[in-house]
């Protein structure tokens, strides 16, 4: 009897967790470079109250609990912005930015320069090139990123094309083991960054939007809500059952 309540409760806890994740996905449906999140659940079997001999064994009751969160690393749609320092990665790979906590990885290619002329992201973290930070000169104009990430600029004084640096774009063997840190940044968590293959390319003047599919999130939300409600009513019914049992069994008036 109690089990029915506890099983329902375990499911309700995971449904709430799922709702939190859906809410986070929908809140970030306009966040550049955001990757949709999902939680996975697993069955959890209770231990037996009674072992087989001599009577048949108890049924093991199964509960549910969360086992992990996975990230959908599929590519988001590209939005053309026309910004010189707006970059999008096509295919797998991450930009590398220097944070005070060490190197972090991001898909959000909305960059700018700082007061020293270094390429930085919107939080002011420097973007890594293959040989350290990417430095522009004050006279640089017509900054161009090739599809491989090579950066060239026309220098005003010499009026000639100068190669500035090359973007450092990396990939990971197990993207799902990256730890999300907020601000669109991921930490490597023990993995080593690998160089990307030729299939990865950089597009200038575009930004990768979030890959959250709002319609799917909305229908998942309805599903979660209805499941939660039906569990609630089941718990109420179980409670009623128990109440009736107590009333009937303890009825001493007759």
Partner 1 sequence: MRALYTAATGMVAQEMSVQIISNNIANMQTTAYKKQRAEFSDLMYQTLRRAGANSSNQGNRLPVGLDIGAGVKTTGTPRVMTQGNLLPTGKDLDVAIRGEGFFRILMPDGRTAYSRAGSFETDDQGRLVTPEGYLVDPSITFPQNSSNIQISQQGEVSVLLPGQSQNTVLGQIQLARFVNKVGLQSIGDNLYLETDASGTPQISNPGVDGMGNLLQNQLESSNVSAVTEISDLITAQRAYSMNAKVVSAADDMLQSTVQMLR
* Residues 43-82 close enough to bind partner 1 by CB under 8 A: 66-70, 81-82
Residue 62 or 176 with smaller CB distance to partner 1: 176
- Least distance in angstroms from the C-beta of 225 to partner 1: 5
127 binds partner 1 (CB under 8 A): no
- Least distance in angstroms from the C-beta of 34 to partner 1: 6
Cα R_g (the chain), whole angstroms: 27
From candidates 20, 58, 148, 163, binder to partner 1 by CB under 8 A: 20
**Residues 6 or more apart in contact with residue 51 via CB below 8 angstroms:** 57
Compute the distance between CA of residue 201 and CA of residue 169 in angstroms, rounded to an integer. Answer: 9
Compute the distance between CA of residue 42 and CA of residue 37 in angstroms, rounded to an integer. Answer: 17
- Least distance in angstroms from the C-beta of 59 to partner 1: 25
**Residues 6 or more apart in contact with residue 3 via CB below 8 angstroms:** 46, 61
Residue 66 or 98 with smaller CB distance to partner 1: 66
Stretch that binds partner 1, among 52-60, 96-104, 180-188, 244-252 (CB under 8 A): 180-188
The tokens describing 15, both together, are 């449904």
Ramachandran sector of residue 133 (left: φ over 0; alpha: ψ -120 to 50; beta: rest) = beta
User: What residues numbered 219-248 form the site for partner 1, per CB under 8 A?
Assistant: 221-222, 224-225, 228-229, 232-233, 235-236, 239
- Least distance in angstroms from the C-beta of 71 to partner 1: 8
What x/- string results for residues 78 through 107 when contact with partner 1 is judged by CB under 8 A?
A: ---xxx------------------------
- Least distance in angstroms from the C-beta of 18 to partner 1: 9
The tokens describing 246, both together, are 């107590």
24 binds partner 1 (CB under 8 A): yes
Three-class secondary structure of residue 87 per DSSP:
strand
- Least distance in angstroms from the C-beta of 53 to partner 1: 31
C-beta separation of 154 from 142 below 8 A: yes
Compute the distance between CA of residue 183 and CA of residue 167 in angstroms, rounded to an integer. Answer: 20
């Amino acid at each position: 009897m109690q089990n029915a309540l506890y099983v329902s409760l375990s499911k309700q806890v995971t449904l709430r967790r799922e709702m939190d994740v859906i809410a986070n996905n929908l809140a970030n449906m306009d966040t550049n470079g955001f990757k949709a999140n999902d939680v996975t659940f697993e069955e959890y079997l209770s231990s037996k109250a009674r072992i087989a001999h001599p009577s048949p064994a108890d049924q093991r009751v199964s509960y549910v609990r969360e086992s992990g969160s996975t990230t959908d690393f599929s590519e988001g749609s590209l939005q053309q912005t026309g910004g010189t320092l707006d970059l999008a990665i096509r295919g797998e790979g991450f930009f590398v930015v220097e944070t005070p906590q060490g190197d972090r990885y991001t898909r959000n290619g909305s960059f700018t320069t700082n007061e020293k002329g270094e390429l930085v992201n919107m939080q002011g973290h420097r973007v890594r090139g293959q040989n350290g930070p990417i430095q522009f000169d004050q006279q640089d104009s017509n900054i161009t990123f090739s599809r491989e990430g090579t950066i060239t600029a026309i220098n005003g004084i010499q009026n000639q094309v100068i190669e500035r640096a090359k973007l450092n774009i990396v990939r990971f063997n197990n993207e799902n083991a990256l730890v999300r840190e907020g601000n669109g940044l991921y930490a490597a968590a023990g993995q080593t960054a690998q160089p990307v293959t030729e299939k990865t390319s950089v597009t200038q003047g575009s930004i990768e939007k979030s890959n959250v599919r709002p319609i799917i999130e909305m229908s998942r939300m309805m599903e979660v809500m209805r499941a939660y409600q039906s569990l609630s009513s089941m718990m109420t019914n179980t409670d009623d059952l128990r109440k009736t049992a107590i009333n009937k069994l303890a009825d001493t008036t007759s």
